[in-house]
Structures are given as structure tokens and as C-alpha cells.
């Protein structure tokens, strides 16, 4: 049995944890403020603390370091309904074990708390605030998918391990990479983004690894490569999925051994860099097809981060659109709130170009508005926008599958399993998609699917979906 302290001024939250954690045999105490928690933490001696950020009096993040100090370093799980990237990073840097965004699924929360209890006492992290974000580089959003993204960035930023950033074109992969650098231990070093397809095919190795004088025609002097120039900092290998196999071998060696061999030189040089990689291509499928090295994939994907598409976080559109109006050229004065018809028009779009397309649309509208209010007619016309790929005819696809499967059935068999086989092939995909859409929140996913949470829990267990 473990002792757990819940610090939250919402009695319903405290009650929920008392019930769910009590069922697992834990002793749960609660406090309605940080001040009360600080007074009682010595007598309670908790093995873990669940701490809300927004509290009356001292806020949770301010109290977090002292709570950890007085509890002897017990792990603290921070929860908040008002999370953003800065909040997540501040929580982790102040020593939080993990970050939980409200509303949350109790099963998900209890799993996190179990991991916190298993972790024991952790080394206290620095409580110094991270450098502020420039407005132009800020990751904006408060939707569940963005809360999940902030959480993952905050957890891995200080780890100094490779990170694979995936997502559709225009979702902001380089912005995520910059946030990882800014909040990581190499923040004082250079951040060097390199788009691999943009490098000259014949000179890509020389660009990355450098070359010595006389290595090839035109090499009139020694030259350091991009990886060596980034020494002490972070390199973003953008569009890593387009790297040829021959280059993949050398990149893997550089990441594994932290050394490079310039073109034309047999001697190696040490490098000290953090490698981030980004792509919108399906690397796992490419590994299966033999077009991407499996060993490089697993080395880069030590901690994968997937960025949600804009269509999966439509609630973030007002904040994003307002931000783009404030920063784009050609717009003067204070931007109007993105509400009413203009918001409805923005939410009705499919946004195949994601956040980048939204930014372009708001810049277009700002120029036409000439400093006045933004109206629907200022948005780009539909013919100037990329259309989404044609949707799959799902009923036809199902019918074709069933027809093909039915031809293999034995009519004399007493019991058929065509429906069961169909569910086994399609249901896991649907469940994973719902969870991803809801940022891993099981309660929200169950609501989206139209099933109760217990049914969803059973299905996830049946298909071994974490």
C-alpha cells in the first residue's frame, strides 16, 4: 500500500482519486490548497503527490519544488486544465514526474501514478525557468492533442536523446524541433536545421561531413561539414525519409559513434551534437519495403513525437488565426476576435496544408482587409486552395473485401466467422485512430466512438492496445 496526496480544490477530483486509487489498495489523502499540503506533507509522508496547477493562494508550480523537498523527493504528477508548452516544461523542469491534462481518463491517470510510484525518489531537476519563447516560434493550442504534444516535448527536451518528429506537411515539425532545442541542455549551442533533399545530390556527404582539400574537383581547401559546425548544439535532419540508403549508413555511424570522417580523409573527428529528425513519410512502411534502414529508424525513434493535423484540433483555430493576424505583414491595429461567420468558415475547411495553410490564408485575408475587420470574403477562394485527396469509397471497399473473403468460405461449415474476421482487421485501426484523435484520453475516445468507457477498456485489452 502506498500513501498518495492529492492537492486540488475540486472535491470531485479528490473523490475520484480516493475511489479509484483506494480500489487498488492505496491510502489517499487530499488537500484543497498548496499551503495546506505544505503544512501536512510531513505528517502524511506521501509516496507520490498529485498536484493541480491552478490553486487558491500559491499555485501548484510555485509550490512544487518545496513540496518535493519536504516529501523527500517523492514523485509529483502535475495536472491542469489550462496547459500549454510553457506550463508543461515548467512542471517537468521543476521536478514533476509527469504532466496530466484535464479532463483526463482515470485509467490513464492511474497508470501514470503507478509508474510514478514505481520510479521511487527521483533526482530533483532544476527549477529555473526556461528562456521565454519568441512569439513567432510559439506552439499554440489548448486542445487535447496539443496537450499531449506539449507533454511529450517537456518530457524529452532535457534527455539529450534522438527524437523522431513525424506529421503531415505544414504541421510545424521544425517548430517542435526548435522547442526541443530551446528547452534542452544544449540551448546555448547552435540549432542547425538541414533539409536533406535540398542538398546537392553529388555533394550531400561533403555538405554534412565536410571535406579535405583535393577530395574532389573544386575542393580547393578544407571545409567543415554541417554536423561539425553544429558541435555543442542540435541538428535537425529534415525530410529524413528522403535520405538515400548510402547516406543512411553514414548517418547511423555518426549518431552511434559521435564521430565523422570528412570526404577524402581517413581520419575521424569527434562531434558532440543532438540529432533530431523529421519527416512526413511513413518510415515504418519504408523499413518494411527496404527503402529505409531499420537500425537507423530505431536509433532515431528513441522517442517519437507525432504532431496532430490541424483538422484533428479545430478548437485551436481561433487562437492560431488571431496569432497569425497579429504577426503577419500588412495588418495594422489590434486583430479582431476570430468568431462568428469567419470562425465557421475556417472550421469548415479541411486544411490539407495544416497550420502553414491557415497562416497563408490569414495573411491573404489581412492584405485584402487593409487594416479593417476580417470578413469571410477576405479568405482565399476555394479554387486557390489545394483540394483534399479523394475519399475512399468505404462501402465499396468493404463490399469488395467481403466478396473476396466469402469466396473462400466453406458453405458446408456449420459456423462462419466472416464478421469476426472483419472486426479483427478493422476495429483495432478504428480504436487507435480515436485514441490518437483524443490525445490518448480514453473517456473522450469512448464518447467519440459512442461506446461506454468499460466497453472501450475491454476492447483495448482484447487487441493489446496500450
Domain segments of the chain as ranges: 3-119, 160-306, 310-384, 394-462
| Burial class of 214 by CB neighbour count within 10 A (0 to 12, 13 to 18, 19+) | exposed
Q: Give the list of residues 6+ apart from residue 396 with CB closer than 8 angstroms, or none.
A: none
- To which CATH superfamily is domain 394-462 assigned? Homeodomain-like (1.10.10.60)
Once rounded to an integer, what is the mean pLDDT over residues 5-10? 92
Give the Cα separation of 5 and 186 in Å (integer). Answer: 35
What digits encode the pLDDT tens for the residues 327-339? 775 455 555 566 6
Q: Which of 87, 181, 134 is nearest to 327 (CA)?
A: 134
Mean pLDDT of 317-329: 81
Mark residue 165 as left, alpha or beta (left: phi above 0; alpha: psi -120 to 50; beta: remaining). Answer: beta
Distance of CA 417 to CAs 301, 421, 424, Å? Answer: 38, 6, 11
Output the pLDDT for position 389. Answer: 44
Confidence class for position 455, pLDDT limits 50, 70, 90? confident
Packed helices 418-437 and 394-406: angle between N→C axes, nearest 10 degrees:
150
Residue carrying C-alpha cell 561531413: 209
Element (H, E) at 257: helix 245-257
Residue 424: all three cell numbers together: 479483427
Equal CATH topology for 3-119 and 160-306 = yes
d(Cα 343, Cα 340) in Å, to the nearest integer?
A: 5
φ, ψ of residue 80 to 5 degrees: the values are: -160, 150
3-state helix, strand, coil in the chain (%, to 5): 50, 10, 40
310-384: CATH topology is Helicase, Ruva Protein; domain 3 (1.10.8)
What is the average pLDDT across 126-151? 61
Mean pLDDT along residues 382-403 = 54
- CB-CB contact of 141 with 308 (8 Å): no
**Collapsed DSSP state (helix, strand, coil) of residue 121:** coil
Q: Are strands 259-260 and 269-270 parallel, antiparallel or unpaired?
A: antiparallel
* Higher per-residue pLDDT: 338 or 278: 278
Identify which has the larger pLDDT, 396 or 353. 353
Identify the top-confidence range among 16-20, 124-128, 168-172, 364-368. Answer: 168-172
pLDDT classification of 162: cutoffs 50, 70, 90: very high
Burial (CB count <10 Å: 0-12, 13-18, 19+), residue 366: buried
**Between 124 and 292, where is the model more confident?**
292
Distance CA 229, CA 227 (A): 6
Confidence band for 371, pLDDT divided at 50, 70 and 90: low
pLDDT score at 123? 33
DSSP H or E run through 169: none
Q: What is the pLDDT of residue 354?
A: 93
Classify the C-alpha dihedral 196-201-205-208 as positive or negative: negative
Highest mean pLDDT, choosing among 91-105, 192-206, 242-256, 319-333: 242-256
Share of the chain above pLDDT 70, in %: 82
What's the rounded Cα separation, in Å, for the pair 372 and 381? 19
Taking every pair of Cα atoms in the chain, the longest distance, rounded to a whole number of angstroms, is: 80
The pLDDT assigned to 414 comes to 53
**CATH homologous superfamily for 3-119?**
Response regulator (3.40.50.2300)
Cβ atoms of residues 45 and 5 within 8 Å: no
Per-residue model confidence (pLDDT) at position 410: 57
Q: Which residues, other chains included, contact 290 with Cβ-Cβ below 8 Å and sequence gap of 6+? A: none
Q: How far apart are CA 325 and CA 342, in angstroms?
A: 13
Identify which of 126-135, 177-186, 394-403 has the greatest average pLDDT: 177-186
Kindly state the DSSP code that residue 263 receives in the 8-state scheme. B
DSSP for 2-28? -EEEEE-S-HHHHHHHHHHHHHTT-EE
Give pLDDT, residue 113.
87
Least confident of 62-71, 162-171, 199-208, 424-433: 199-208
Residue 375 has pLDDT above 60, yes or no: yes
Question: In which element (H, E) is residue 166 found?
Answer: strand 163-166
Copy the grid coordinates of residue 127: 527549477
Per-residue pLDDT at 133: 31
Q: Is pLDDT of 266 > 80?
A: no
| Candidate from 99-108, 312-321, 438-447 with smallest mean pLDDT | 438-447
3-state SS class at 29 = strand
Asked whether residue 173 carries a pLDDT value surpassing 90, the answer given is: yes
CA gap 177, 236 in Å, rounded: 7
Report the candidate in 133, 47, 46 with the shortest Cα–Cα distance to residue 88: 133
What pLDDT, on the 0 to 100 scale, is given for residue 277? 95
Mean pLDDT computed over 174-195: 91
Q: For the chain, what percent of residues have pLDDT higher than 90?
A: 23
Say which range, 290-299, 344-353, 366-375, 445-454, has the weakest mean pLDDT.
366-375
User: 96 versus 87: which is more confidently predicted?
Assistant: 96
Given this model, what pLDDT does residue 380 score? 86
- Which three cell numbers mark 149? 504534444
Mean pLDDT of 42-70: 87
Q: How sure is the predictor about 167, in pLDDT bands with cuts at 50, 70 and 90? A: very high
State the chain's mean pLDDT as an integer. Answer: 80
Confidence at residue 129, expressed as pLDDT on a 0 to 100 scale: 30
Host H or E run for residue 231: none
Which pLDDT score is estimated for 449? 86
Phi, psi dihedral angles at 342 (to 5 degrees): -65, -40
Matching CATH number, 160-306, of 3.40.50.300, 3.10.330.10, 1.20.950.20, 3.40.50.920: 3.40.50.300
Q: What is the pLDDT of residues 404-418, one digit of tens each?
A: 665 555 555 555 667
**SS3 labels along 385-417:** CCCCCCCCCHHHHHHHHHHHHHCCCCCCCCCCC
Residues in the chain: 466
Q: Is the pLDDT of residue 293 over 90?
A: yes
Q: Give 198-248 pLDDT, tens digit per residue.
A: 877 667 888 888 877 776 666 667 778 888 888 899 999 999 999 989 889
Residue 396: the pLDDT is 60
**pLDDT tier at 126, thresholds 50, 70, 90:** very low
Amino acid at each position: 500500500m502506498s500513501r498518495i496526496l492529492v492537492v486540488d480544490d475540486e472535491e470531485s477530483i479528490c473523490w475520484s482519486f480516493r475511489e479509484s486509487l483506494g480500489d487498488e489498495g492505496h491510502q489517499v489523502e487530499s488537500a484543497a490548497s498548496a499551503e495546506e499540503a505544505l503544512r501536512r506533507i510531513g505528517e502524511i509522508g506521501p509516496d507520490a503527490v498529485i498536484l493541480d496547477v491552478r490553486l487558491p493562494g500559491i499555485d501548484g508550480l510555485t509550490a512544487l519544488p518545496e513540496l518535493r523537498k519536504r516529501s523527500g523527493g517523492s514523485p509529483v504528477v502535475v495536472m491542469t486544465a489550462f496547459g500549454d508548452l510553457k506550463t508543461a516544461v515548467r512542471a517537468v523542469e521543476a521536478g514533476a514526474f509527469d504532466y496530466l491534462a484535464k479532463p483526463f481518463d482515470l485509467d490513464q491517470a492511474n497508470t501514470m501514478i503507478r509508474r510514478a510510484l514505481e520510479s521511487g525518489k527521483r533526482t530533483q531537476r532544476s527549477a529555473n525557468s526556461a528562456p521565454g519563447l519568441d512569439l513567432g516560434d510559439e506552439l499554440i493550442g489548448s486542445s487535447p492533442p496539443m496537450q499531449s504534444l506539449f507533454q511529450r516535448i517537456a518530457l524529452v527536451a532535457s534527455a539529450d536523446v534522438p527524437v523522431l518528429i513525424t506529421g503531415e506537411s505544414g504541421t510545424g515539425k521544425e517548430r517542435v524541433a526548435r522547442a526541443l532545442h530551446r528547452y534542452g541542455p544544449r540551448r546555448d549551442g547552435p540549432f542547425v536545421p538541414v533539409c536533406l533533399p535540398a542538398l546537392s545530390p553529388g555533394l550531400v556527404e561533403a555538405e554534412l561531413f565536410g571535406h579535405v582539400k583535393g577530395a574532389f574537383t573544386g575542393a580547393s581547401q578544407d571545409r567543415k561539414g554541417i554536423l561539425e559546425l553544429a558541435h555543442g548544439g542540435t541538428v535537425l535532419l529534415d525530410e529524413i525519409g528522403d535520405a538515400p540508403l548510402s547516406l543512411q549508413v553514414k548517418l547511423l555511424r555518426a549518431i552511434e559513434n559521435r564521430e565523422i570522417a570528412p570526404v577524402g580523409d581517413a581520419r575521424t573527428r569527434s562531434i558532440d551534437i543532438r540529432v533530431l529528425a523529421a519527416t512526413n513519410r511513413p518510415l515504418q512502411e519504408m523499413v518494411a519495403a527496404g527503402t529505409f534502414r531499420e537500425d537507423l529508424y530505431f536509433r532515431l525513434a528513441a522517442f517519437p513525437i507525432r504532431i496532430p493535423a490541424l483538422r484533428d484540433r479545430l478548437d485551436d483555430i481561433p487562437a492560431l488565426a488571431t496569432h497569425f493576424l497579429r504577426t503577419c505583414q500588412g495588418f495594422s491595429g489590434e486583430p479582431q476576435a476570430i468568431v462568428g461567420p469567419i470562425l465557421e468558415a475556417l472550421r469548415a475547411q479541411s486544411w490539407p496544408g495544416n497550420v502553414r495553410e491557415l497562416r497563408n490564408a490569414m495573411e491573404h485575408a489581412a492584405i485584402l482587409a487593409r487594416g479593417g475587420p476580417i470578413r469571410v470574403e477576405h479568405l482565399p477562394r476555394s479554387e486557390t486552395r489545394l483540394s483534399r485527396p479523394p475519399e475512399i469509397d468505404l462501402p465499396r471497399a468493404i463490399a469488395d473485401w467481403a466478396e473476396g473473403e466469402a469466396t473462400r468460405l466453406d458453405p458446408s461449415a456449420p459456423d462462419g466467422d466472416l464478421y469476426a474476421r472483419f472486426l479483427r482487421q478493422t476495429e483495432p485501426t478504428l480504436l487507435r485512430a480515436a485514441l490518437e484523435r483524443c490525445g490518448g484520453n480514453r473517456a473522450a475516445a469512448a464518447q467519440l466512438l459512442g461506446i461506454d468507457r468499460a466497453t472501450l477498456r475491454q476492447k483495448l485489452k482484447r487487441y493489446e492496445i496500450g
